[in-house]
C-alpha cells in the first residue's frame, strides 16, 4: 500500500476500524459535538417509549454543545452515561445521527461531521446540534419537563431530503 493510500485510510479511520479498535484520541474525535445525548428524556414506564425534551444537563454549554466539566463530569452528574463500544450497541436512546451509533451500525458519517467536512461548525450549520435550542435543567421541576418535549432528537437522520438534516 502506498504512503498516500495509508494516509487516506488513516484519515478515514471510522470506515475501517471497529469501535473496539479505536485509540482514545480517535474515540474522542468521533463525537460530532451535537450535544443531543446531553438532553433529558422521559420514558413511558409501561411502553418503554422515549420522549426527548430540550431540557439540557446542567453541565452542557448550550451554545458550544460541549460539557463544561467533561473530565470530572461524573462527580457532578453521577448518572452521566460513559459511552463504550458495548454501551453504544445497547443504548436504544442514542440519537440516530450519533457518530458512535453510525459506526457501530457499519454506516458512514454524514457530510456535516467534522471528520468529513473538516469544520467543527458544520454540525451546527446543518441544524443537527442542539445549539441555542435548549434550556437548562438547573432549577427546573421534574413535572415541568413534559412542557419541553421535542421530537427532533429522535428523527430519522436521513431526513426528508436524505442529506442528514433534521
Contacting residues toward ligand SF4, per CB under 6 A: 31-38, 57, 59-60, 67, 73, 77, 80, 83, 95, 98-100
CA distance 82 to 113: 21
Grid cell digits, residue 58: 446542567
In the complex, the smallest distance separating the C-beta of residue 102 from ligand SF4, rounded to whole angstroms, is 9
Answer yes or no: are the C-beta atoms of 55 and 140 closer than 8 Å.
yes
**Shortest CA distance to 19 belongs to which of 98, 96, 92?**
98
In the complex, the smallest distance separating the C-beta of residue 5 from ligand SF4, rounded to whole angstroms, is 28
In the complex, the smallest distance separating the C-beta of residue 30 from ligand SF4, rounded to whole angstroms, is 7
| Nearer of residues 12 and 64 to ligand SF4, judged by Cβ | 64
| Nearer of residues 55 and 98 to ligand SF4, judged by Cβ | 98
| Nearer of residues 71 and 143 to ligand SF4, judged by Cβ | 71
CA distance 45 to 19: 31
How many of the other CB atoms lie within 10 Å of CB of 50? 13
Amino acid at each position: 500500500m502506498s504512503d498516500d493510500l495509508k494516509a487516506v485510510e488513516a484519515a478515514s479511520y471510522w470506515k475501517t476500524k471497529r469501535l473496539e479498535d479505536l485509540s482514545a484520541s480517535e474515540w474522542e474525535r468521533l463525537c460530532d459535538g451535537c450535544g443531543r445525548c446531553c438532553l433529558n428524556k422521559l420514558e413511558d414506564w409501561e411502553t418503554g417509549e422515549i420522549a426527548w425534551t430540550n431540557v439540557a444537563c446542567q453541565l452542557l454549554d448550550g451554545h458550544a454543545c460541549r460539557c463544561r466539566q467533561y473530565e470530572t463530569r461524573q462527580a457532578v452528574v453521577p448518572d452521566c452515561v460513559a459511552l463504550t463500544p458495548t454501551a453504544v450497541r445497547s443504548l436504544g436512546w442514542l440519537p440516530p445521527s450519533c457518530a458512535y451509533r453510525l459506526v457501530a451500525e457499519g454506516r458512514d458519517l454524514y457530510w456535516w461531521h467534522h471528520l468529513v467536512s473538516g469544520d467543527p461548525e458544520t454540525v451546527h450549520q446543518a441544524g443537527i446540534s442542539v445549539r441555542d435550542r435548549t434550556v437548562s435543567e438547573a432549577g427546573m421541576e421534574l413535572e415541568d419537563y413534559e412542557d419541553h418535549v421535542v421530537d427532533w432528537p429522535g428523527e430519522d437522520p436521513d431526513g426528508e431530503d436524505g442529506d442528514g438534516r433534521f
